[in-house]
């Protein structure tokens, strides 16, 4: 079952929407699904639906609500891809983390679910790392997160497990960045990195030209096992 719910921002006087997919029975935990630069589109909703099929309550907050509420873009349509890049440039990432924190808080309080994880893609992969460092989320996964080398000074604050999926031919994350990520995080007791040789950015998307099915299934199986281990179920 899916629905759109309203999240109260941490300020207490603003609200934004989130897509929620619920499992058939009682959820074993909740997972915040963090959007790419394309909004809470069909692919992100499908990620939520899949997690619900696995027994989780999955929730995807609309993080672009201050710019263009409920925006949905298709990465395979060039003008929409360019529009997404423009939105990313305008997006306040620190505020986005506060909105993710508000979502975690509301899930715990309103849904009475203690264990909450997060998984993010692209921009969301970066935000998943930031969420791991800046909130009390119980477990985090980032797919092809961008610019994480610039966030390594926050790694000391990562207190709960974090998994990062890193395609080696990512057009948005060059080899030097990947090297810095490994050098900075390989020895962190809470962080696990997986490389995907020859794969590009967006390989685990649900729809469209970017998907590489075999690698996506491998990454998703690792994510599933990770959440089962750290969130229960």
- Residue 232: the pLDDT is 82
In the set 99, 170, 220, 230, the catalytic residue is: 170
Per-residue pLDDT of the chain (233 residues; tens, 9 = 90+): 889 999 999 999 999 999 999 999 999 999 999 999 999 999 999 999 999 999 999 999 999 999 999 999 999 999 999 999 999 999 999 999 999 999 999 999 999 999 999 999 999 999 999 999 999 999 999 999 999 999 999 999 999 999 999 999 999 999 999 999 999 999 999 999 999 999 999 999 999 999 999 999 999 999 999 999 999 86
CA-CA-CA-CA torsion sign (229, 50, 127, 215): positive
104 Cβ partners below 8 Å, 6+ apart? 32, 116, 118, 135, 136, 137
Q: What is the CATH number of domain 2-231?
A: 3.40.50.1820
In the set 201, 213, 220, 230, the catalytic residue is: 201
Q: pTM for the full model?
A: 0.97
User: pLDDT for 64-110, tens place per residue?
Assistant: 999 999 999 999 999 999 999 999 999 999 999 999 999 999 999 99
For residue 102, what are its two tokens? Answer: 């508000």
The ranges assigned to domains in the chain are 2-231
CB 181 within 8 A of CB 195: no
CB 102 within 8 A of CB 8: yes
Q: Is 165 a catalytic residue?
A: no
Q: Is 170 a catalytic residue?
A: yes
- Residue 2: the pLDDT is 86
- Residue 233: the pLDDT is 60
């Amino acid at each position: 079952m899916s629905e759109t719910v309203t999240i109260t921002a941490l300020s207490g006087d603003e609200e934004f929407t989130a897509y929620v997919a619920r499992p058939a029975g009682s959820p074993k935990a909740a997972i915040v699904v963090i959007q790419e630069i394309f909004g809470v589109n069909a692919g992100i909703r499908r990620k939520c639906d899949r997690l619900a099929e696995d027994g989780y309550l999955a929730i995807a907050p609309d993080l672009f609500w201050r710019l263009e509420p409920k925006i949905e873009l298709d990465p395979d349509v060039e003008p929409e891809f360019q529009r997404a890049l423009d939105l990313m440039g305008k997006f306040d990432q620190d505020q986005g983390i506060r909105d993710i924190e508000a979502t975690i808080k509301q899930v715990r309080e309103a849904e009475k679910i203690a264990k909450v994880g997060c998984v993010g893609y692209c921009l969301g992969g970066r935000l998943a790392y930031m969420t791991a460092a800046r909130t009390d989320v119980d477990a985090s996964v980032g797919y092809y997160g961008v610019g994480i080398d610039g966030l390594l000074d926050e790694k000391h604050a990562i207190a709960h497990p974090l998994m990062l999926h890193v395609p080696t031919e990512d057009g948005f994350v060059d080899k030097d960045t990947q090297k810095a990520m490994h050098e900075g995080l390989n020895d962190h007791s809470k962080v696990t990195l997986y490389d995907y040789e020859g794969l590009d950015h967006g390989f685990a998307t649900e729809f469209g030209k970017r998907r590489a099915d075999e690698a996506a299934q491998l990454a998703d199986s690792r994510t599933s096992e990770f959440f089962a281990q750290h969130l229960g179920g």
